[in-house]
Amino acid sequence: YEGTWAQNANASFVRGNFSTLSPEASFVVHPPLGKWLIATGMELTGPASSWGWRLAVALAGIATVFLLCRLVWRLFPSPLLVGLAGLFLAIDGVGITESRIGLLDGFIGFFALAAVYCIVRTHRAPAGRHRCRCPSPQGRLAPLDD
């Protein structure tokens, strides 16, 4: 949970005393999923490692480049366009910075792109693949008309 810290709590926190954290929740402006993903990286590498809180966002940044390539391939099946899209995102300064310093915005980009990919994939699915079939008056299943 997001707790409220007492005044001058940093010094006691560094010494290992966590008793200054109150049980009352504070105002939270970010959803917890991104924080949980960053905490997972910190759990793997230890809280003292600066790699831990960067790990999950860096992996999300790499996955975003891969997901963008998949999306571009679905929209325009051209190896040149796929390569350019992946290259442009991979060398984009904002994406690199967000992945490098562990900002929560990297997760927003990944999940937003994943949502767009799912919409495009569903929209371009073969007819009838994601629809149910209705029984005909004779009792047989008949495909829906487009």
Work out the end-to-end distance of the chain between its first and last CA atoms, rounded to an integer number of angstroms: 49
pLDDT tens figures, 70-80: 999 999 999 99
pTM over 0.85: no
Between 116 and 28, residue with greater pLDDT = 116
Model pLDDT, residue 98: 82
Whether 84 has a pLDDT exceeding 50, the answer reads yes
HEC readout, the chain: CCEEECCCCHHHHHCCCCCCEEEEECCCCCCHHHHHHHHHHHHHHCCCCCCHHHHHHHHHHHHHHHHHHHHHHHHCCCHHHHHHHHHHHHCCHHHHHHHHHCCCHHHHHHHHHHHHHHHHHHHCCCCCCCCCCEECCCCCEECCCC
Tokens of 81: 């366009």
